[in-house]
Amino acid sequence: MNDSITTRAAGAAPATAQINLRLLADGHGIIESHHGDDEQRFAPPADFAAQANVGAEAYVQASRDRLGFWADQARQLHWHREFTEVLDWSEPPFAKWFADGEINASFNALDRHVLAGNGDHVALLWEGEPGDRRSITYAELLDEVSRLANVLTDLGVEAGDRVAVYLPMIPETIATLLAVARIGAVHSVVFGGFSADSLRARIEDAEAKLVVTADGSWRRGKISPLKPVVDQALAAGTTVEHVLVVRRGGNEVDWQSGRDIWWHEAVPQASAEHEAQGFPAEHPLFILYTSGTTGRPKGILHTTGGYLTQTSYTHRAIFDAKPETDVYWCTADVGWITGHSYVAYAPLINGVTQVIYEGTPDTPDWGRWWQIVERYKVTVLYTAPTAIRSFMKVGRETVLAHDLSSLRLLGSVGEAINPEAWLWYHEVVGSSRAPIVDTWWQTETGAILAAPLPGVTSTKPGSAQRAIPGVALDIVDDAGTPVDPGSGGLLVVNEPWPSMLRGIWKDPKRFVDTYWETFGDRYFAGDGARFDEDGDIWLLGRVDDVMNVSGHRLSTTEIESALVDHHAVAEAGAVGIADETTGQAVIAFVVLKRNQHLVSKSEAEAVLRRHVADLIGAIARPRRVYIVAELPKTRSGKIIRRVLRDLAERRPVGDTTTLADGGVITAITAQIEQASTVKPG
């Protein structure tokens, strides 16, 4: 079966979706962007728009009084002491939001719902990879968090101390973050797939006093050991005094008496009475390390009041959160910023029931996610474009075998979603009726900065649409001058926003140099983008992923979108490699759909090289297109283009600590060697 997309706009005949994004440029910046005449827009369903949490008036309110708008959103939270000052921007780029107020993240996520009589409302619907399940109410989660808060205090953890968290996606992980925040300590979550060296580097930089981990976790039907990795990370001595261990995998672990403590022995025995006190709004909430490819990781610091304000507002506005009826599922791991903002905090602050799943989407088969949606009647699904493209590769039959009629809203996060994947997501997963919110933001921004409002926006496949109310985005050239619509440039944030990072842990100079040196008091995101004629935003990828071919600047996003636009392609990664004649040459790596039979592997390279040239222009024609089984990705699903570049240039691959599957490097290397004997088509 050919898995190309056929869509039907309201009142229109079916038409195969072809969205042509041409982004040809000169040496000074990406310019001359055009849409095809067949661009499609999808208006919100009338019944959805009529009941949406947020309407078009939010843009008007925020435009008239931006600080007043954010103050109103902050007042949706419970404050132990009300703030009187909204923003202090007297020493840019060091912002203070609601600084004289006092707040507690855990109280907002749990206590206030229980006190309001909603303690019996389900907070977490958890499913382990082997199939075990737990349903946890807000009252039950508060009980666990309160007990854990007392355990942490008894272990000597105080306000301001750092706690490293190295756990899988289990309920204890959410409880840990909330308990750490409850006592004013600072959590530093390290993704459970990182190596001992990566874990140690983060523990040392944060000077963590305690580590919370598990014996092991389930991944693809096997136990992935966690505590042994912690033991290795701590072997040479650190600031860590205790290790609290959840029994999850049942695997044997070494035990250091006096340091190691079993969760199941300590937490149930602790008192369930714990009063959450307020902390200053600018009190640190967490450090989250970015997994840079070189150099030491950056500890992104987020504080409490502004972060909770913007994450809870964006969840309420963009995901149209309905606590009485929604079952929300964000598929991100809590080791990433998406799992912090839109799993651990915002959904609970808004009183929503959410699904948490421990395992991978292909275990025991590719139907697992859709079984979960059907079982729990998920209404809002938030996931990554890489996941969508993986399902495209498998084929729509896997999705359509399940009842997904409960879904009313879909979200995309992690990178720009190409139009073909957007349309597949809309038609196959959302049955052509669920609005899609394509969100743009970063670890550093803390919360979503650009996305459609689902009850307001007529969405365009592949566009993040516009800045959310209260956020000021612009696209500028190298000199900081706004570019014209249709021209590409650098995406910047013109004004401080509540959930913005407050610095890099212990390194204010690096914070200034990394994010603010280029344009002074404007935050430079590191992404390229353009406005179309309607003022909607199109992301072009990281600036360092832009290729310069014979003086023309081409983004990886446009070339990958052109490749995935072909009916046979499920995923694509594009990179530029050094070339003596043209400066750089385009090399593409492509994964074909499993159920397509219209293009053979032997002819695919020639077909796809022509396809890119037809859509973008001859200048963008890849020198080589390698057909591969998988692309190198992080464990969060992002393509690691640096690895592709290393492989394409036949040089040793650098740091692979974030790689989900190391075997993919060997496989791609073999495919490159095999293809090198064949002349490009």
616-642 pLDDT, tens digit each: 777 888 999 999 988 888 766 778 888
Q: Determine the Cα–Cα distance for residues 177 and 193; give it in Å rounded to an integer.
A: 18
CA nearest 358: which of 348, 349, 368?
368
Class of domain 6-39+544-675: alpha beta
pLDDT mean across residues, the chain = 89
Rounded to whole angstroms, the Cα distance separating 127 from 359 reads: 9
Least confident window among 109-118, 142-151, 607-616: 607-616
The two counts, helices (H) then strands (E), for the chain are: 22, 34
The fold of the 47-470 domain, in CATH, is Rossmann fold (3.40.50)
Lowest model confidence (mean pLDDT) among 26-35, 39-48, 115-124: 26-35
The β-bridge partners of 16 are 6
Residue 580: pLDDT band with limits 50, 70, 90:
confident
C-alpha span between 335 and 217 (Å, rounded): 14
Give dist(CA 546, CA 5) in Å, integer.
28
Element (H, E) at 631: none
Top mean pLDDT of 219-223, 436-440, 673-677 is at 436-440
Instruction: Give strand pairing partners of 625.
Output: 588
Q: Does residue 272 register a pLDDT over 60? A: yes
Residue 551 confidence (pLDDT)? 60
Residues 466, 460 contacting (CB under 8 angstroms): no
Taking the C-alpha atoms of residue 260 and residue 405, their distance in angstroms, rounded to an integer, is: 47
Greater confidence, 342 or 12? Answer: 342
d(CA 615, CA 618): 9
pLDDT: is 490 or 24 the higher one? 490
Evaluate if residue 579 carries a pLDDT over 70.
Answer: yes
CA angle, 632 as apex, 611 and 665 as ends, to 5°? Answer: 110
Q: In what order do the strands lie in the sheet with 537-542?
A: 473-476, 488-493, 523-531, 537-542
Residue 370 contacts residue 394 (beta carbons within 8 Å): no
User: So what's the pLDDT on residue 641?
Assistant: 84
pLDDT surpasses 90 at 337? yes
Q: Residue 72 and residue 68: Cα distance in Å, rounded?
A: 6
Quote the CA–CA distance of 355 and 345 in Å, as a whole number.
Answer: 14
**Average pLDDT estimate for 352-378:** 97
Backbone angles phi, psi at 637, to 5 degrees: 100, 5
Distance of alpha carbon 74 from the chain centroid: 24
Rounded CA separation 160/101 (Å): 18
Residue 488 CA to residue 485 CA, distance in Å, equals 8
- The confidence score (pLDDT) of residue 655 equals 62
Cα angle 238, 193, 627 (rounded to 5 degrees) comes to 140
CB-CB contact of 386 with 637 (8 Å): yes
pLDDT band at 5 (very low <50, low <70, confident <90, very high): very low
Identify the H or E element spanning 273: none
pLDDT of residue 340: 98
Mean pLDDT over 375-380 rounds to: 98
Rg (alpha carbons) of the chain, rounded to whole number: 24
Closest CA relative to residue 350, chosen from 308, 409, 407, 410: 308
pLDDT at 185: 98
Q: Given phi > 0 = left and psi -120 to 50 = alpha, else beta, which region is 456?
A: alpha
What b/e sequence results for 148-177 when a residue is b if at least 16 CB atoms lie within 10 Å of its CB, and e otherwise? bbbbbbebebeeebbbbbbbbbbbbbbbbb
Report whether 170 contacts 249 (CB < 8 A).
Answer: no
Q: Whole-angstrom Cα distance, residue 291 to residue 288?
A: 9
Q: Do 421 and 388 contact (CB within 8 A), yes or no?
A: yes
| pLDDT tens track for 253-262 | 999 999 999 9
Please tell me the pTM assigned to this model: 0.83
Q: Is the pLDDT of residue 465 over 70?
A: yes
pLDDT of residue 23: 33
Greatest mean pLDDT among 123-137, 412-426, 665-679 lies in 123-137
Provide the H-helix boundaries in 234-351: 263-266, 305-318, 337-339, 346-349
Respond yes or no on whether the N-terminal peptide bond of residue 93 is cis (omega within 30° of 0).
yes
Q: Which of 121-125, 523-527, 566-570, 582-586 has the highest mean pLDDT?
A: 121-125
Is pLDDT larger for residue 613 or for residue 503? Answer: 503
Amino acid in the structure at residue 496: P
Contact 609, 621 (CB under 8 A): yes
Q: Give rounded-to-5 percent helix, strand, coil for the chain.
A: 30, 25, 45
Pairwise CA distance, residues 634 & 65, whole Å = 41
Contact between 306 and 509 under an 8 Å Cβ cutoff? The reply is no
The answer to whether 475 touches 530, Cβ cutoff 8 Å, is yes
Type of residue numbered 521: D
Q: What's the pLDDT score for residue 557?
A: 77
Residue 39: which pLDDT band, with cuts at 50, 70 and 90? low
Domain residue ranges in the chain = 6-39+544-675, 47-470
Residue 413 above 50 pLDDT?
yes
Q: Which residues pair with 503 in a beta bridge?
A: 301
